[in-house]
Copies of this chain bind each other. A is one copy, B any other.
Amino acid sequence: MEFEFEDRCDVQCIHEENVKEVRANMINEDTARALADIFKTLGDTTRIKLLFALMLNELCVCDLAAVSGASESAVSHQLRILRNQKLVKYRRAGKIVYYSLLDDHVQTLFTQGLEHVNE
């Protein structure tokens, strides 16, 4: 009884038609989260620099630290995040690990992002 009308919205201003239609075509929870996760990964200055550097060349962790200005430990931590998001791949050559972009999605996203910035 307490929640007899729980399915009725107490807000008056809703445009039912619009809401109904949007709801029917709405992005689902998982997709929204996956999308947010990629953008979240791209939403950090250090990672932006790492990815931008890798757009120019395959580089080892030391090199990445040098060009990004972050410590090697910080870079290593961030590279793990980029690996988990399947944004970079790596190959080991002795003691050294070389990182590179996994595909060209990053390039495309950067270009689109910069287009938004430059306006």
- Distance, CA A14 to CA B38, complexed state (A): 30
Query: What is the total number of copies of this protein in its complex?
Result: 2
Number of interface residues of A (CB under 8 A): 58
A31 B114 Cβ-Cβ under 8 A? yes
* Docked pose: A49 CA to B105 CA in angstroms: 22
A18 near B109 (CB under 8 angstroms)? no
**A13 touching B60 by the CB < 8 A rule?**
yes
Q: How far is the CA of A33 from the CA of B21 in the complex (A)?
A: 37
Give residues in A with beta carbon < 8 Å to B.
9, 11, 13-15, 18-19, 21-23, 25-27, 29, 31-45, 47-49, 52-53, 56-57, 59-60, 62-63, 65-67, 72, 86, 95-96, 105, 108-110, 112-117, 119
